A and B are shown apart, each in its own frame.
Chain A
């Protein structure tokens, strides 16, 4: 009797240069603020089909803002107070790379409270970018 064939792990596939099952994915948090509006809440939920590994954080915005993010699945804030946008996210061209990827379980929700600093209307899109795992 021969050995049973085993499915390759994602890491083995990557080493062999074979197509991987992870799917690059963007989870956006969209929020629109009026001038100096404080504490606007916006969130995004990880889809139910796969866990998500966040690798980069990027944003586009009309002007400056600050936010506090919460990982609601684990019921914990990711920062003790508001963090300025310049210190929180990069751009698609020059992203903030998480040295240790941030794993979010399926159905987890990331919530943010946003405050405008531009003294003008502000349309913000904060994206958590990474991979849906083992789809």
Chain B
């Protein structure tokens, strides 16, 4: 796995847009962004409505994912290029999600929507018409998804990388005040977790830092590249961005995203929690 396998730049997208077998997908937190303008031929995926089970706290199952991609006109052998706002947070989340269900050829547009906009590249409001396909999703690849018991077992043994802000890490803040339904009951972090905010991995224009710079960022924070890693944040999308860095850019084996993240861990009865700035 190398950078060129998983990242494309805007020039590449402009040169290949419209090629058979290439599907551009915008994934945003602010889903109205797509409606105001998107890269020509891009379809939209709503990270919440399309990817989350509406009742249980979990993802849509493989049948649901297959139905979604079929409806969007995406085939199993298509090259999917994801991009979005917020420095590609939700695009990275979708990338991880596509990998979870076994899609082979997925890439991120480096810099996402922001860099595209800052370079004054074309955005259109026309929604492409793609014929429905018969997509087949694999079973979830649980080698990249961590659950709570694994996280507990990893304390003191694996890298736990908490990519939230220092205030969430320390327990000074629980969650956005707007979201009581997602609030954890306790603030703080998983003992032994290293705090490396996701933003340390990105340049100002939203592109990923160089491999050397990325290694330096995590090494300086005390991450050991010789052992397995679990990344988490609050709901699992910022940590998908960091999972992408570790697993896809730096080629680290055995990296998992804990999508339960703090909203689950901080609500569990009886688990160890540490507060304050220290790991």
Q: Answer yes or no: are A and B bound together in one complex.
A: no
Partner-A contacts on B (CB < 8 A) = none
